Amino acid sequence: MRELSYAEAIREALRQEMQRDERVFIIGEDVGVYGGAFGVTLGLVEEFGEERVIDTPISELGIAGAITGAALTGMRPVGEIMFMDFITLASEQLVNQAAKIRFMFGGKAKVPFVLRTPAGSGTGAAAQHSQSLENWFVHIPGLKVVMPSTPYDVKGLLLASIRDDNPIIFIEHKLLYKVKGAVPEEPYTIPLGTAEVKREGRDLTIVATSIMVKRSLEAAEQLAHEDIEVEVVDPRTLKPLDEETIIRSVMKTGRVLIVHEACKTGGYGGELAAIIAGSEAFDYLDAPIVRLAGRDIPIPYNRDLEYHAVPQVENIVEAARQLARGEV
């Protein structure tokens, strides 16, 4: 199968859905001629024109309001917030309006939009351009939250998200944009709320999100040389969550390590730990549930400090090794 980068897979999904459905349009800062901050939408304005690839003023609140209003009138907009940090400026429209409208109108109104945004550290972009704020939006009833980790997943999940009748926060990691993988040319969808076992194992389960899936798979390869077989599970969508796949994996291995980039306090790992502890998997645990997450600090500008602020492959290897050997 041919290979595309993560960014190319997003662009192909957008192009194919815009060709299929004239209600789909793109809106955001510099998404047109410039092609977006990371070049993801490059070339689409030439193909679809400025009425369907719309550059906006620097107003994240305006972008969120525009896609909410457009979705209410029957369009299927795809908004882009240049950095996830700036989604804080759009929160009123997302949290108090878009997330609640369908419920408040008894299902008579729908808000089918996707808001794409790059998150995470690793580019030296410092504290105001490197955050992982996914759990803020997991907390809000009415919003769906998607975090693809591979080119294959990002295309299938984006197509499914655009076709969904609810507002969706679609989170892309900056360091994944250049990662390549097999992607079918034809359109396909991955149902929201479907996790995937990325690697089979017997000794412990790692549940990881976004870039941490890639790092966990690298860690699993290293640990295999020590006869520690790690199972890696990627939720793919944080809300809705496929609890069954995660619980089944933990029951199989008896140990679980949860890995994410966001700060540990209030992070999604706490929710996963609570779900596992409250499920039938609890009786199968041979060790405590372990969380490995970002430090509770702003992301530093200094590259060495930035590196140590979030989990890296060596941190995952050490945490998994200790867990597998009963040292936790």
Residue 85 and residue 124 share a domain: yes
Segment 286-294 mean pLDDT: 98
The predicted structure's pLDDT at residue 1: 84
Residue 62 resides in a domain:
yes
pLDDT tens for residues 176-189?
A: 999 999 999 999 99
pLDDT above 90: residue 297:
yes
What is residue 6's three-state secondary structure? helix
Residue 190 resides in a domain:
no
Residue 191 resides in a domain:
no
pLDDT-derived band of residue 8, with 50, 70 and 90 as boundaries? very high
Segment 231-251 mean pLDDT: 98
Residue 175 and residue 205 share a domain: no
The verdict on pTM exceeding 0.85 is: yes
Residue 312 resides in a domain:
yes
Segment 134-146 mean pLDDT: 98
pLDDT tens for residues 113-123?
A: 999 999 999 99
Residue 204 and residue 176 share a domain: no
Residue 187 resides in a domain:
no
Residue 13 and residue 113 share a domain: yes
**Domain end residue (candidates: 182, 215, 245):** 182
Residue 78 and residue 156 share a domain: yes
Q: Hey, which bits of the chain come out as E strands? A: 3-5, 24-28, 53-55, 76-80, 114-119, 144-146, 168-173, 180-182, 196-199, 204-208, 230-234, 237-239, 256-263, 290-294
Residue 208 and residue 171 share a domain: no
Residue 96 and residue 14 share a domain: yes
Segment 291-295 mean pLDDT: 98
Q: Distance between CA atoms of 132 and 262, rounded to whole angstroms?
A: 5
129 in active site:
yes
The rounded percent of the chain whose pLDDT value lies above 70 is 100
Residue 71 and residue 139 share a domain: yes
Residue 128 and residue 222 share a domain: no
| Residue 255 structural domain | 196-324
What CATH number did the domain enclosing 202 receive?
Answer: 3.40.50.920
51 secondary structure, DSSP code: T
The predicted structure's pLDDT at residue 312: 98
Residue 49 and residue 159 share a domain: yes
Neighbours of 264 (CB within 10 A): 16
Query: Which one from 129, 139, 260, 308 is the annotated catalytic residue?
Result: 129
Residue 207 and residue 151 share a domain: no
Q: Which residue has the tokens 């194919």?
A: 16
Residue 109 resides in a domain:
yes
The predicted structure's pLDDT at residue 328: 87
The predicted structure's pLDDT at residue 142: 98
pLDDT above 90: residue 230:
yes
Segment 10-37 mean pLDDT: 97
Residue 149 resides in a domain:
yes
Q: How many domains does the chain have?
A: 2
Residue 189 resides in a domain:
no
pLDDT tens for residues 73-99?
A: 999 999 999 999 999 999 999 999 999
What CATH number did the domain enclosing 162 receive?
Answer: 3.40.50.970
Q: How do strand 196-199 and strand 204-208 relate by DSSP bridges?
A: unpaired
Residue 218 and residue 165 share a domain: no
Q: Distance between CA atoms of 218 and 159, rounded to whole angstroms?
A: 28
Segment 40-65 mean pLDDT: 98
**Domain end residue (candidates: 182, 207, 228):** 182
Alpha-carbon dihedral of residues 293, 297, 303, 308, nearest 10 degrees? -40
**Domain end residue (candidates: 182, 205, 224):** 182
The residues pairing with 276 across neighbouring beta strands, listed in sequence order, are: none
The predicted structure's pLDDT at residue 254: 98
